[in-house]
Amino acid sequence: MNADNEVVVSWESHMMRSIGPTANFFVFGTKYGTVVVTNRRFLFFSDGESGLIGQFLRNVQEIDARYLDSKWSIDIPLGQIERIRVRKRWDFSSYISIQGVDANMKKVSYAFMTKFGQNRSKLNELVNAGKRRRRKRRRRKRKKLWGQE
């Protein structure tokens, strides 16, 4: 499979990213952007706007690939995700917690949350898309190892 066959499986705009496995309680220190799950990668596109400003300024409907080069964006290959799940905070807000190794081979941990953390079904859709694609890739690698493919 080459890079031309990369397909968007699921995505959600209006997300806030925190560094670490738990979501920040306040929007200060978060970055605003779009989470995209492809058949190969878990991506977060951001131009560096803070979560506080970003959630009020605009309604993003297009994914702009130039943001991937930004120092605020994230690129984690699905095969390098150690743990991804939807979690709940003490105030019942839901968020995605992800831990793994990014494309630069650096250990990372992030949390992604919608504006109020109330869209749990969409968060589960993003997590399940990442897990499903990750399992398929692992199965394919195992088959190659044992000469079944």
Range among 2-6, 32-36, 133-137 with highest mean pLDDT value: 32-36
Cα distances from 62 to residues 7, 37, 127, in angstroms, run 16, 15, 21
Q: Is the pLDDT of residue 20 over 80?
A: yes
Mean pLDDT to the nearest integer, 80-106: 89
* Average pLDDT taken over every residue of the chain: 76
Q: Of all residues in the chain, what percent carry a pLDDT higher than 70?
A: 68
Q: Which residue has the higher pLDDT, 82 or 148?
A: 82
pTM score over 0.75:
no
